[in-house]
Structure 1
């Protein structure tokens, strides 16, 4: 029986927005509230629940979730409070855990900590150690930092913009996490930073050049060259 822990922390910010985000702007879900908020809807966790629920050998444990609308940078005091709640939820549930799925955005930012998602993943890795696989899912507009990659085992991202595949992104995350557990896989993640600024139309995945990159990545997955 696999014991898989699930959590969420999502916000997209713009540093050009002068209105800071506060802790009170987040919707917080604790324990079963997290699954109640996502079960049966088109979200990453909603999609992941569907896949995990197909297995009789999976025990899902919802921990904690925080979501806020897009705004300005998150006030550091607010992030510190979120990070403390996140850490406490992981510590309380870590005994006997086999894996951790963390639904994120990839474009959070604080007034002081510029890589809050990397910080949270670092906290998770410290708590779970190197043997527990950590799977994350992200918006394709996220910024992958090295700290994020150093502290997770695998990731999935949206394949569409405008975004219409939130649930399927969670489904792919769940399936990949189960493959890691079933087959004892040890994925290797690499990133390439491309110094280019792309206009909005070219980011549309149906018609823009970014869509060509997504389709190439899908071909690599289908061929077995990439997970």
Structure 2
């Protein structure tokens, strides 16, 4: 009985220690973006060659170009922009919205997102997993914060009259993004229209039309 309790306790402690990205084992591990070695993340360059620029990014003061059909633009700041983020398990993004602009339903497979509205008004939400598929949504104003749990489909839409700006923090150096419509109808090569027609219970001609559409990505 005592051994069972100890085992369960250790299991709980171990589960609490799990994270999207591995914990660092040194002060930093600046990504070597020129290495041809493939690892789960990025290879470290010699720490003695690290400079301040490896931990620096400028430009988040500049609005993203929202003159596109979605009316939004995401400016990411992850390990690709700041090599010093490698192994640190964190990144962020600026999201700009024109009036009516939308960051369409998508998911981050490797990170939880926490979003803060800097200017404007956003209608946001996420959908829980099967079988509930429950929508949890809220309208946010300047200064409001909302969390999107890791892996769940979520969205944001500007429901105000002016431009909206938000900053998102993510619990991964490279959280990834899967935009649902793009993945389903814009896959290359395309998913069989017979499969999609049955999955969505719609006519195959409509699937063909959707697959022929231009699916853009602002992430």
Instruction: Pick the TM interval, shorter chain.
Output: under 0.3
Q: Whose strand fraction is larger, Structure 1's or Structure 2's? A: 2
Q: Whose helix fraction is larger, Structure 1's or Structure 2's? A: 1
